[in-house]
Structure 1
Amino acid sequence: MIPLRAAVLGVGLMAGATPAHASVELLGFGDLKGWAEDSHTEALEAFRTTCVDLKDPAWGPICAIARATNDARGFFESLFLPILIKGDDEALFTGYYEPELRASRTRGGAYQYPIYQVPPELPRDRPWYTRGELEDRGILNGRGLELAYATDPVEVFFLQVQGSGRLRLTDGTVMRVGFAAKNGHDYSSVGREMVRRGLYQPHQVSADRIKAWVRANGAAGKRLLHHNKSFVFFREVSTVPAHLGPLGAMNRSITPMRTIAVDPTYTPLGAPVWIEKGGADPLRRLMVAQDTGSAIKGAQRADVFYGSGEAAGDKAGRIRDPGRMVVLLPVELALSYVESGM
């Protein structure tokens, strides 16, 4: 095992930064369980969408080959080496999705719960008001910051957790919204708080259970959501066609079941990542690190993008599984890393 150095990973890591308590191990493709059975062509298609944005010179020729090759498996096996990066925490896979909400551009009837754009006074260098303060004190009310109004405050909360979504409007059109900013407070897991309070056991927590409990418990449910002090503001995304996925952290559409959100301190954005997720619905497949999330922290932490809509949300909400993730680095970077002894 070799201590991790960020300089080798290049994209997604700050030069000279060294993640604490991390190590790496060079593997072979034969060490990746299920590698031969995966659809490498699907992974290559996802990789092509963001490889043009990788700035490290080592990626340039690889992206050019990716756009020209028809041999997907040979492409990955000849130009990359698998690297297992480990930190202090055990591996954890969760799932995320693009919600779809009923909404209206104007307030009225059932459409009472605002989805806000960024207020002009939001500070960029320090935390602002918490979720509870924003909602209880009405700080955003009546200022023309509303993009739309939804029918359910719990769904608005989960829209903020996911960071993007589709709003099916009363006029028959669809508005896509994406992350614009947040209030500067760290994300806190409501599910974990429910376990701490003894409401559920860890294996019982899911998005559906959280939603049901909040809706059934009135003011107590609202206070539970306030445990997560983070509050997300949105922008309308009009440039992404409806058949494509939402924009990820690289400002490109992400791909269902081929995109993961990672901690870029350890995993460079745009890199292929082999995942071996356990649990009731195991996954063995090549993904691409194209997104991030405030709750995604650690070398072996990933959020799998399950797609858009209710069915995707049902699947994503049940995922909390062990396993491992293996980053594929260009041979040049991987070998120089190993040979340097960094």
Structure 2
Amino acid sequence: MPQPFARPGASRFMTTASSLLRAVTSVGVLALLVACGGVPLSSPGYRTDGVSPTSPSVAPAARSAAPEAAPSGPVLMQRNSRWVPVAWSELPGLEQDALHEAWNAWLKSCERPGPVFAPLCPEVRRLSIGDAEAQRSWLLSRLQPYRVEPLQGGATPGLLTAYFEPEFAARRLPGEGFTTPLYQPPVGLVPGKPWFSRKDADTLAQPQAALRGRELLYLADPVEAMLLQIQGSGRLRVTEPDGRQRLVRLAFAAHNGQPYQSIGRWLLDQGEVRDASWPGIRAWLTQNPQRQAELLWQNPRLVFFKEETLNDFDAAFGPRGAQGVPLTPGRSIAVDPLSIPYGTPVWLASEGPNLSLQRLVLAQDTGGAIVGPTRADYFAGWGEEAGELAGRLKQPVRLWVLWPK
């Protein structure tokens, strides 16, 4: 969601471990199974032709393959979506996409593939050194595109937002203005049971005692700390006590069991702002610094972290998504896993004032606000430019899953 609202991977902290921008990045949150019009996708190994896709027999990729003139096969049903087979010609931009970029994300999915795509991973790995023609021909010969629709049918556009990995300066010890701590899970936290709220942690002795000694790092800005919690992870440029500089990642470890509430939505509901993007919230705080605590306390959820070392290789990818693999900037999306299984290649098409996209992406993450058949959250990467995109992106999207024939 263009979120001061909630992230998918923030989603991760709402569902699994992985994301005020992701929340600032999404403003809105976009049912029932119908009894006819499709075939239930009863197991991950389902095939429309009666052949198991988990067969160890994998044919070599064809050098060229023509798209089918017309789609074939039944509609496939998921719990929150239905998939309608279509011809490859329905996918916009197929000939223009730089597929090798998507292959990096696909190789990551092959580190933890599901049973449907595991048999294809040897070919995916071989094609990582292939050219665009070979990769595109392989897609056409081995996969069938399906348009993702609501259970009741109808190809109405969904919603695309974006999220990112914040990057901030931090200190190992408090001082020089760095006084806002980021915590490990506190003593006495029980997963699944509510703990103290954000306001409680700031004002009551008992939660403060439970958090004492659990500090990981310190930031200079409590609003940045909330943004990090909403996104679910972040990169920190840490100054150690001896003056050395290190780049580390704080990844999601747990949350306090309190409901997530959007501070951007609160500002809108109070009539305080018309622009609830991250820049809009920042502008409001500049004019109302005395109300900072009041604003932050509107979101009772606290997120706790674990620290991970970032080497040069790890730094080229984002945090691990719900699939359990590192996210690839521009090629990983968060989805509703009841609509699109993790690890599924997806063709994404979206046109709007902030971004034009027609590309192959991989479903590798989820989020508390990422619900519905055509709801996607686009991983924009890290840093200021990615944060700006994540804070503004909210536009229609169409999705097609690419499923083994």
Secondary structure, counterpart of 2:95 in structure 1:
helix
Aligned to 1:238: 309
- Give the letter for the 2:373 counterpart: A
1:260-280 CA-to-partner distances (Å, cap 9, x unmatched) read 111212111111111112211
Counterpart of 2:145?
82
**Within-5 A mapping of 1:216-227:** 216-227=287-298
Cα separation, 2, equivalents of 1:324 and 1:193: 30
Q: How many aligned residue pairs are there?
A: 322
Map 1:313-324 → 2, pairs under 5 A: 313-324=387-398
Q: How high is the TM-score relative to the length of structure 1?
A: 0.85
Whole-angstrom CA distance in 2 between matches of 1:261 and 1:35:
21
Q: Secondary structure at the match of 1:242?
A: helix
Q: Distance in 1 between matches of 2:259 and 2:136?
A: 39
Q: Map of 1:54-65 to 2, 5 A cutoff?
A: 54-56=113-115, 58-65=116-123
Query: Per-residue deviation at 1:254?
Result: 1.2
2:102 aligned partner: 43
Q: Which has the higher helix share?
A: 1
Query: 1:215: how far off?
Result: 4.5
Match of 2:380 among 306, 315, 318: 306
Which sections of structure 2, spanning at least 5 residues, go unmatched? 1-35, 47-76
| Aligned 8 A contact 2:104 2:328 in 1 | no
The 5-angstrom pairing of residues 322-337 of structure 1 reads 322-331=396-405
Shift of 1:91: 1.2
Residues 76 and 189 of structure 1, relative CA distance in 2, 3 Å threshold: farther
Q: Report the Cα offset of residue 311 of structure 1.
A: 1.7
Q: Is there any run of 5+ residues in structure 1 with no aligned partner, and where?
A: 12-16, 332-342
**Is it true that 1:33 corresponds to 2:33 in the alignment?**
no
Q: What are the equivalent positions in structure 2 for 1:1-342 lying under 5 Å apart?
A: 2=37, 5=40, 7-9=42-44, 19=79, 22-56=81-115, 58-69=116-127, 70=130, 71-87=134-150, 91-137=158-204, 139-140=207-208, 143-170=212-239, 171=243, 172-201=245-274, 204-238=275-309, 241-280=314-353, 281-331=355-405
Would you say the 8 A contact 2:247–2:310 is kept in 1?
A: no
Which of the pair has more CA radius of gyration?
Answer: 2
Deviation at 1:219, TM superposition (A): 4.7
In structure 2, give the amino acid aligned to 1:60. A
Q: Determine if contact 1:214/1:222 at 8 Å carries over to the other structure.
A: no
Normalising by structure 2, report the TM-score: 0.73
Instruction: Supply the distance in 2 between the matched residues of 1:83 and 1:289 (Cα, whole angstroms).
Output: 15
Distance 2:224 2:138 in 1: 42
Q: What is the CA-CA distance between 1:6 and the residue it aligns to?
A: 5.3
- CA, structure 1 residues 9+274, in 2 after alignment: closer, same or farther (shift >3 Å)? farther
CA RMSD of superposed structures (Å): 2.5
Moved more, 189-198 or 306-315: 189-198
- Kept in 2: contact 1:272–1:289 (CA 8 A): yes
